[in-house]
Amino acid sequence: MAGTSLTGIFAPGAPALAETLRTLVVTPQRAVAPGETIRIEFAFSNLGGAPATDVRVRFALPQGVAHVEGEDLVDERPIAELVARNGELAAVAFTDGRRLARSGMLVATTVHQRSRLAGRLGVNVAEPTAVAQDQVAVDPMCRTNVPGVFAAGDLSARMPQVAAAIAAGSLAAASVVQSLLAEDVGLPVGEWRENVVA
């Protein structure tokens, strides 16, 4: 069953999960006789700030394998805890007392600011997203609503990613230099808006 893979779990407007992020459990884990049923299980949770609607799952089935209509099941039982054995995930325990053996899991996280500095400086906070709760609102030049205060990286990202944080940091640095040159030698810069919102 090496050819079976989860090729996408997505909500409208969200990118599909990378093919390397597989959480499939396929049984039986042996050669399958003609007519025998193959079961494929996976799990994910919506931990974002809004309901996930029109969620779709796509499987690339191996040649000669067909989907059995009406056999799909969505397990919506609330999770009580994650059970570990020797420091590794062993099972998901539900509030009904039953467990589901698992050795891996994808978990959606929401980024929160660790420092209160942004709030103390009086910068505006953007609308929460499914992945970032209290990111700082910035304009296209990484400027906040407070003159002289710039923000970049995960502090102001709507989708925290290393590559995006590096790019935003570079842009913010250029904006700081431009702002300083505007003060020192009169380099023209765009007007600083005090009502930056995202």
Structural domain that includes position 47 = 5-78
> Are the beta carbons of 137 and 156 closer than 8 angstroms?
yes
Instruction: Note the pLDDT of residue 27.
Output: 65
CATH code of 136's domain: 3.50.50.60
pLDDT at 189 over 90: no
With a threshold of 0.85, does the pTM exceed it? no
Domain end, chosen from 78, 101, 128, is at 78
pLDDT at 24 over 80: no
Length of the chain (residues): 198
Q: Tell whether the torsion through CA atoms of 11, 90, 79 and 47 is positive or negative.
A: negative
- Domain co-membership, 74 together with 121: no
Q: What percent of the chain lies above the pLDDT cut of 90?
A: 21
